[in-house]
Structure 1
Amino acid sequence: MTNNHPKSSEEKLATNQTRSTDPKSQKIAATGAGTATVSAQSKPNTNNTPEPQIKKVDISIAGVTYPIYCPVHEQEELRSAVFYINDYAQELRKDAPSLSQENLLVLCCLNLYEKIHANQRDDEDRLQESSRSDALLNKILKDAQSIL
């Protein structure tokens, strides 16, 4: 999935102005802070080529809507991610209600990275332990065969 979210405030303004003048564009409105929404639109097919398998998906996290272009086959995964991240952001919002949207999302990203990194370390530890177990089992089998 690719993010088509502008980086600077000037780009945001230019994008919003472009969106508002495009008759095929969808008006993006923020939803309530406690909800996560995902709506999809197909890119219009202007010629006779097959329609691309990319759809514009408007996701809402902590009450703010973001346009994302997502491959069709990844939409369910995107929906799942949106609901997980939105729930996580709402839990953070409960603990720190005065955080700005930007600070909330930064904190959310940092906490989620910490979780991902901890899972990766756990996976590496399990892999090392599995390798040690395999080596020990092979040594036991070799020792058992030498006795027989």
Structure 2
Amino acid sequence: MTDNQSKTIEKQPKNHQIKDNPVQNSGLQPQKAASTESTASSAASQPTTKTVKTSEPQIKKVDIAIAGVTYPIFCPVHEQEELRSAVSYINNYALDLKRDAPSLSQESLLVLCCLDLYEKIHTTQRNDEDRMQQDKQSEALLNKIMKDAHSIL
């Protein structure tokens, strides 16, 4: 196992609540508040219970494998399926690159994979922009034709 294999990559949600206050997000503090309020009426304790459920961390450690190397990733629970789909695509892509260049190190393989995938994303974005421009031109031409047709009628 190399140093690269033991590194942890973290994917965190957009709000950094879990990173900022681990005690509060572990559910310990809200549960303590809920038990203090248990002496109050049951109606008052129900909203506290709802708060506890929403403040529980929804992050899970997921081990992913890309080109034979396993990486631990911390991922929001609701994004796990998307992560697994991305891992499958990237793993297949990296393995294809590795077949073409078997002497590449894992780091070089991943860098090449990132560069190739960026090129694909960039090409797709340019194509989308071109299509949007063509759609605008088509719409303008159609509007002109319709205006001319109405003026003739």
TM-score normalised per structure 2:
0.66
Percent identity, aligned pairs only? 72
Answering whether residue 117 of structure 2 is matched by residue 112 of structure 1, we say yes
What is the 5 A alignment of 1:47-126?
47=28, 48=31, 49-50=52-53, 51-126=56-131
Aligned to 2:138: 133
d(CA) in 1 for partners of 2:132 and 2:108? Answer: 36
Deviation at 1:112, TM superposition (A): 0.4
Matched residue SS, 1:99: coil
Deviation at 1:71, TM superposition (A): 1.0
d(CA) in 1 for partners of 2:75 and 2:144? Answer: 50
Deviation track 1:24-74 (CA, whole Å, cap 9, x = no partner) reads: xxxxxxxxxxxxxxxxxxxx9562343311111111111111111111111
CA RMSD, 1 decimal:
1.9
Deviation above 4 Å: which 4+ runs of structure 1? none
Deviation track 1:67-113 (CA, whole Å, cap 9, x = no partner) reads: 11111111110000000000000000000000000000000000000
d(CA) in 2 for partners of 1:136 and 1:73? Answer: 44
Aligned to 2:41: none
Matched residue SS, 1:118: helix
Matched residue SS, 2:87: helix
TM-score normalised per structure 1:
0.68
Flag structure 1 segments of 5+ consecutive residues without an equivalent.
1-8, 16-43
Q: Give the number of aligned pairs.
A: 109
d(CA) in 1 for partners of 2:27 and 2:141? Answer: 64
Q: Which has the higher helix share?
A: 2
